[in-house]
């Protein structure tokens, strides 16, 4: 019986990294909110900061080789 190989391959890591990122539509929406806030001299809203933290967590968990 063949043995299953569960080691991460570059392809598996790329797929997991892509799946872990927030939805592109959400990113664009939050980007618009961030630009509007900064243009008005306001700090980044909490949901924008959370999205940035989520993005960084993906980069940390699935670093590019």
pLDDT at residue 64 greater than cutoff 90: no
23-33: pLDDT as tens digits: 999 999 999 99
Q: Is residue 2 part of a domain?
A: no
Cβ–Cβ under 8 Å, residues 10 and 65:
yes
How many structural domains compose the chain?
1
- Residue 27: per-residue pLDDT: 94
The CA-to-CA distance between both ends of the chain, in Å, stands at: 33
Q: Is residue 4 part of a domain?
A: no
pLDDT at residue 5 greater than cutoff 80: no
16-63: pLDDT as tens digits: 999 999 999 999 999 999 999 999 999 999 999 999 999 999 999 998
Q: Is residue 45 part of a domain?
A: yes
Q: Which residue, among 44, 51, 50, 45, has the nearest Cα to 28 in the 3D structure?
A: 51
Which domain covers residue 28, as residue numbers?
22-61
């Amino acid at each position: 019986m063949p043995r299953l190989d569960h080691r991460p391959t570059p392809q598996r890591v790329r797929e997991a990294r892509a799946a872990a990122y927030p939805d592109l539509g959400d990113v664009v929406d939050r980007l618009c909110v961030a630009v509007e806030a900064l243009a008005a001299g306001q700090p980044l809203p909490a949901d924008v900061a959370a999205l940035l933290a989520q993005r960084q967590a993906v980069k940390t968990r699935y670093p590019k080789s």
